[in-house]
Amino acid sequence: MGVPLTKTQPGKNRLFSILVSETAHLIWKTRCERGTTHTRRELENKWTQCINTCLKLDILQTNHSEYGKKAIKESVVLDTWKGILKDEGNLPKEWIWQSSVLVGIKSC
């Protein structure tokens, strides 16, 4: 692993790692599609979908009954995604545990 950006903001460091690795993977996958051209909008939608999937996986991995000791702490997920969620101010306090809440990142 690399050197953390700052020791005081582990959530931001984790988000940075997720964004860089997922973006690099998406670039690689897109370049492997020979003969296919994508519009800017298509690429933005693919990227948003990819990051939303990461968010959903993070939420699922907070389930202690499913993952036991390997479950991600809820505070880690909240710190990671703080500030980039769509309509974050309107989300309920316990949004991670409410299945009816649609959570996603802000669009570009």
19-51 pLDDT, tens digit each: 999 999 999 999 998 888 999 999 999 999 999
Q: What is the pTM of this model?
A: 0.81
Closest CA to 11 of 104, 82, 95: 82
Alpha-carbon distance of 48 to 62, in angstroms, equals 22
Instruction: List the chain domain ranges.
Output: 10-97
Q: How many CA atoms lie within 13 A of 103 on its CB side?
A: 29
Alpha-carbon distance of 74 to 91, in angstroms, equals 15
CB 46 within 8 A of CB 22: no
